[in-house]
Amino acid sequence: MIEGSTRVQSRAKRLLGVVTAAMLAVAAVGCGTGSGEGSTGSSEQGGGPVTLEFAQWWAPELPEGAFQELMTQFESQNPNIKVKLLSAPYASTKQQLVSGAASKTLPDVVGLDGAWVNDFAKQGAITDLSALMAEGKYDESQLASQIKVDGKTYMIPVVNFVYPLFVNKDLSSKAGVKTVPNNRSEFLDAAKKISALGGNVKGWALPLDTAVPNGIQNDVMSWLWASGGSMLTPDGKPNLTSPPVKSTVEYVKSLNDADVIAPGSLTMKEQDKVEKFTAGQVGMMIDSLAHINLIKKNSPNLDFTVAPIPAEDSYTGKRGLPYASWGIGIADSSEHKAEAFKLVEFLMSQQANAQLSTLANGFPGNNTAEPDFSKSDPLFKTAFDIYKKGYPANEFVGLPKSEELMRTFDENLQLVLTGKQSVDDALNKTQQSWASVI
């Protein structure tokens, strides 16, 4: 009885020995070069150089090594400060920031989205930048905008990405659409004609994924803002039952009823919308300017242009243009706030800001900086003109729990689009829900 088990045993022992040896070897390599430190922030060696940790999702979106180069520029101008770039997957950034704030392990400088500011400020995660600006006697007039909560600035937008209308010129001309639509009726008409091309082509894409409900901001409310409308009252309370909002929702519903929206809308993500446009399955979309290079790279032969978002037929005023920003803030738990602010100043300085905006294909947060359009696509110049003629509009920035607000609106809109709820009911329900938050 023992004989058999010994043979098994010795084979098992040998295998175990091999595996253990392998693991020890691998671990030796790892421990030798890995960081075993439990560092939770920047380090300082009594008077020596300060290392700032900067968490952002921007570096992968820029040309290889470009962002690091900017940091090197900063380091050469500030010999006492080193910058360590940390990156995290974009989709998890907010969640990681919340967790990091809760355990006081936030990096010194953090990249932020405007929609998160209110909640992070309330959490005490990010510090009051107004105070730092006052201390450093910073000239605030050069900032195109600041995101404030209770009168204090918590985030400064570094680069702004506007969301104009993208039009596929190949599909439009094939469908007999002569000019780029300028108002809602023209848009509906163009969308119908493009959808009539058949196959898998539709006129418009509407991403209503509830996991990341940005579609409400970029693809629905943008219609409202393009006609100068507002979803809030002048004192910041929800105003969703007002005629402009109602007409916006009814318009979207009419687009849905006309069957011009690409299928899969209820769970479509922003990335899908772009992919479908790039693949020539969607004729028109409202999308971030930052995608121009992406579309050109993936589909070099696609002939498309950008235009202002169509307004209500009778509207002739200035048009609001939705935007998203790469914003910057400083962690409240940072031990090097002064140095961190130097980094912020650098990124907002005229030269660096212009450089970054050009690289990112966005518009500068410093209103004296002019992005260099000479080497980039002529469409950027077109978009910049649209930007200058209109005004940046994103009422969700600075609101508390903006993601939840968008999601409630989204869920009710989905009920409208699937015929399960009337527009009035949807707006009333959403209004009630919003009123309990704002």
Q: Which parts of 133-192 interact with other proteins (CB under 8 A)?
A: none
Per-residue string for binding with other proteins, 30-49, x by CB under 8 A?
xx-xxxxxxxx---------
CB of 432: closest distance to other proteins in angstroms?
15
Q: Are 82 and 109 in contact (CB under 8 A)?
A: no
Whole-angstrom Cα distance, residue 169 to residue 360? 25
Binds other proteins (CB under 8 A): choice among 17, 60, 136, 236: 60
Q: Per CB under 8 A, does 98 bind other proteins?
A: yes
Whole-angstrom Cα distance, residue 148 to residue 159? 17
Q: Are 41 and 334 in contact (CB under 8 A)?
A: yes
Whole-angstrom Cα distance, residue 308 to residue 232? 23
Binds other proteins (CB under 8 A): choice among 43, 61, 350, 373: 61
DSSP helix/strand/coil, 82: strand
Whole-angstrom Cα distance, residue 143 to residue 410? 33
CB of 138: closest distance to other proteins in angstroms?
28
For residue 263, what are the CA distances in angstroms to 64, 256, 267, 291? 35, 10, 10, 22
Interacting positions 387-416 with other proteins (CB under 8 A):
401, 403-404, 407, 411, 414-415
CB of 257: closest distance to other proteins in angstroms?
17
C-beta closer to other proteins: residue 102 or 196:
102
Residue 49, both tokens: 């150089």
CB of 90: closest distance to other proteins in angstroms?
4
Neighbours of 79 (CB within 10 A): 8
Q: Per CB under 8 A, does 82 bind other proteins?
A: no
Residue 21's H or E segment, with its range, is helix 2-33
Q: Are 297 and 377 in contact (CB under 8 A)?
A: no
Per-residue string for binding with other proteins, 418-437, x by CB under 8 A?
x-x-----------------
DSSP helix/strand/coil, 228: coil
Beta bridge partners of 161: 324
Binds other proteins (CB under 8 A): choice among 68, 72, 77, 92: 92
Instruction: Tell me the chain's radius of gyration from C-alpha atoms.
Output: 26
DSSP H stretches of helix in 258-391: 270-278, 292-298, 337-348, 350-360, 378-389
CB of 227: closest distance to other proteins in angstroms?
27
Size of the site for other proteins (CB under 8 A): 90
C-beta closer to other proteins: residue 170 or 370:
170
For residue 318, what are the CA distances in angstroms to 95, 248, 315, 331? 37, 17, 9, 37
Q: Per CB under 8 A, does 354 bind other proteins?
A: no
Q: Per CB under 8 A, does 26 bind other proteins?
A: yes
DSSP state of 220: I
CB of 119: closest distance to other proteins in angstroms?
6
Q: Per CB under 8 A, does 57 bind other proteins?
A: yes
C-beta closer to other proteins: residue 151 or 300:
300
Question: What is the chain's length?
Answer: 438
Stretch that binds other proteins, among 18-26, 216-224, 227-235, 364-372 (CB under 8 A): 18-26
CB of 318: closest distance to other proteins in angstroms?
27
Interacting positions 231-250 with other proteins (CB under 8 A):
none
Q: Per CB under 8 A, does 19 bind other proteins?
A: yes
Whole-angstrom Cα distance, residue 341 to residue 132? 7
C-beta closer to other proteins: residue 265 or 358:
265
Residue of 352, 353, 373 whose CA lies nearest to 365? 353
CB of 314: closest distance to other proteins in angstroms?
34
Whole-angstrom Cα distance, residue 208 to residue 266? 5
C-beta closer to other proteins: residue 5 or 179:
5
Interacting positions 252-271 with other proteins (CB under 8 A):
263-268, 270-271
Interacting positions 293-332 with other proteins (CB under 8 A):
294, 297-299
Q: Which residue has the tokens 């702004």?
A: 160
Q: Per CB under 8 A, does 20 bind other proteins?
A: yes
Interacting positions 104-133 with other proteins (CB under 8 A):
104-105, 107, 119, 122-124
Stretch that binds other proteins, among 74-82, 135-143, 276-284, 388-396 (CB under 8 A): 276-284
Give Cα 320 to chain centroid, integer Å.
18
Residue of 124, 123, 122, 146 whose CA lies nearest to 134? 146
Per-residue string for binding with other proteins, 201-220, x by CB under 8 A?
-------xxxxx--------
Binds other proteins (CB under 8 A): choice among 14, 21, 23, 233: 23
